Amino acid sequence: MRRILPALVALLVGLVVLLDYFLENPVLDALGSFLLEGAIILAAFALLLGLWNLLLVHERKVRRRERGWPASIVILLSTLGGLAVGLAGWRSGALDWFYRYVLFPLEASTGALLAFVVVSAAVRLWRLGSLEGTVMLVVGAIVLAGTLLPQGGALGVLTPLREWIVSVPALAAVRGILLGVALGIMATGLRVLLWIDRPYE
C-alpha cells in the first residue's frame, strides 16, 4: 500500500494536469489550476527546507572549522544577503543595486571566462588532430574576432560572418538542444506516469 498510494497519486495528478492542458473543460480547468497551485506551494516549502538545511550544514562546517570552511562563510553571507535584499522589496532600491553591481558583473565575468575555456578546449582538441577540434577552433576564433575587433578595415568581413555563424548554425544547434531537453522531459514524465520510475519512493 505504501508503494501503490504515492504512485496512484502521482498518476492521477499527472493525468489531470495533462488533460487540462489539452482539453477545454471548466471542471478540468479548475482542478488543474488547484493542483498546480498546490504544487507551487509544496515547491515553496521544499525550497525553504532546502535553504534551512543549507544554512545548518554550512554553519556547522564553520563552527567546527572543517575543511573548506572559508567557502562556507561566503555561502552563508551570500545566502543571507540575498534573503535580505529580496525581503527588502523592489521599492527599496536594494534589489536594483544588487542586480546592477553584483549579479551583472558576475555574469559578465563568467561569460568572459567561458570564452577562454571554450578556446582552450578547442586548442586541446586541435592538438589531438581532431577535425571537430579544428572546426571548433576556427569558428570560435571567427566569433571572438568578429565580436572584439573593430568593424572597419580588412577584418571587417568577420563581423557579418560572425553574425551568420551565430544566427544559422549556432541557432540550429540551440534549437536541437532545446528539442532534446523537451523530449527528455516528456520521456521522464511519461516514465513517472507509467510507474516505470518511482522517485517518490
pLDDT digits (tens, 9 = 90+) for 8-22: 777 788 888 888 888
Computed over its alpha carbons, how large is the radius of gyration of the chain?
Answer: 25
pLDDT value at position 200?
Answer: 58
CA distances from residue 28 to 15, 18, 43, 134, 194 in whole angstroms, order as listed: 11, 10, 22, 54, 21
* Unique residue bearing C-alpha cell 488533460: 19
User: How high is the mean pLDDT of the chain?
Assistant: 82
In this structure, the chain runs to a length of: 201
Residue type for 157, please? Answer: V
Q: Is the pLDDT of residue 72 over 80?
A: yes
Domain definitions of the chain by residue range: 1-88, 92-167
pLDDT value at position 199?
Answer: 65
Cβ contacts of 121 within 8 Å, gap of 6 or more:
136
* Unique residue bearing C-alpha cell 522517485: 199
Is residue 45 very low, low, confident or very high in pLDDT (cuts 50, 70, 90)? very high
Whole-angstrom distance, CA of residue 86 vs CA of residue 89 = 6
Does this model's pTM top 0.75? no
Q: DSSP state, 148?
A: H
Here the cell at position 169 is: 548554425
183: buried, middle or exposed (CB in 10 Å: 19+, 13-18, 0-12)?
exposed
